Amino acid sequence: MPGIIGFYPFGEGRENWNACRFLYYGLNALQGRGQESTGLSFFTKDRLLNTVNSNMMVEDFFKEKAESLKEGYIAIGQTSPIKNDGVIHIKEPVELVCVGDGKPNLHSDKIIAFKIFSEKLSQKIYELGDALKATKSIVNEVSGGYSFIALTKNEEMICGRDTHGVKPLEIGAIGFDIGIVASETAALDVMGAEYTGSVNPGEIVVFDPLSIRREICDKSNKKYCSFEYIYLARLDSYLNGISVSKVRENVGRALAREKPVKADVVIGIPETALAFATSYSEESGIPMKIGFIRTGRYTRSAIKPTQLERLTGVQLKLNPVRYSVDNKDVVLIDDSVVRGNTLKSTVLDLKRKGAKRIHVRIGSPALVAPCPYGTEVPPRDELIGGNLSEEEISYVIGADSFSFLPITKLIECIGLKKSELCMKCFGIDWEVE
């Protein structure tokens, strides 16, 4: 679930913009989508495409590569949860660079799939001589769930989504001078851009020095990723015109109505679940308290590549506040459960700090299947929700009760039709809606 971004200035004097500096802020805003690698490609003032990739967090990347990133007036970049997942640079027949979120159905490995996609795009642009027509042809041909941004040697920026729009892509502008495309609107906000709308499912948008061209593929049928709204995206983002904050507020209220319990205090696991906990508290009338204090820099332990890193990340970053839970019945709110190991550790920590009873409420349905489009969900046999009942999960993690958000309520909270959402990780396939 990488975060991708593109910066494109128009008109006279465009070479004077420092695109890399803008992408520093934008990629920092997207880093919750992935923190294992960072990549950047940009046009230098002598009109050469320069690509820099490294297995670093965004801030470390820009510190380490500062000398290499001093110039660049058009740029694309990504931050990814996968090591060695950088900007793809194709040299021929048409030189281009590409970043992508999700996975085209070209290979089981995300990196290889986007490399094949980029090669196909280069070849098709060479054959047709028109970036918009070529990209439309490729997206019509290549299924899967993905969004992408590419730069060609002709200084064109191409962006688009698969015909179902599974992965998000949003557009913003700074006046009439700059166009920006990013996975989430939060990145547009921190770069000082005004949000102007989404790239639609199956839509191709091409920026050139004088214009923006847009065209929809032959078939488009939206299937927006539901997991984006409850976990992947930032709280301050809009995706597909929908406020992530509003969805999460709806989820907390739905949990309180659907899964009520008597308790003394509500606490949420930072960061995503805090929004759920706030509205759960408001709806239930149970007071909310700060339950954890963070240590160190912000990281998402759930997307770390190994179990040891995930457990260590939880232990290091979140220390329970004893006063908030001591001798109390606690409603513990989390956004999702994957394997259950980190949640088990959290419940144990709260009981060590004096919690009497812990009632776990999850702001998503049970994850029961891996994502076919690149979101880091492990195989079914590793998913606790795909193998155990709520009562069994409660026993395994040491909680006094445990409940998921029902799928029907998730759909209501997002505010779209069931047919407009991708919920394959929750066991709802497109063919059986």
Residues 25-44 have pLDDT tens digits of 999 999 999 999 999 999 98
Angle between helices 110-128 and 131-141 (to 10 degrees): 140
pLDDT score, position 190: 96
93: CB partners within 8 A, 6+ apart: 122, 123, 126
Query: Is residue 320 classed as helix, strand or coil in its secondary structure?
Result: strand
β-pair partners for 38:
54, 79
Q: How far apart are CA 222 and CA 363, in angstroms?
A: 23
pLDDT score, position 310: 57
Angle between helices 390-397 and 341-352 (to 10 degrees): 50
> Which domains, and CATH codes, for the chain?
3-222 (3.60.20.10), 246-414 (3.40.50.2020)
The tokens 């962006």 sit on which residue? 159
The secondary structure of residue 428, as a DSSP letter, is B
Q: How far apart are CA 369 and CA 248, in angstroms?
A: 22
β-pair partners for 345:
none
Ranges under pLDDT 70 in the chain: 297-317, 431-433
pLDDT in tens, 296-306: 766 655 555 56
Long-range contacts formed by 257-261: CB under 8 A, 24+ apart = 257/283, 258/403, 258/405, 258/406, 258/409, 259/361, 259/403, 259/405, 260/284, 261/331, 261/359, 261/361, 261/401
Angle between helices 341-352 and 307-317 (to 10 degrees): 30
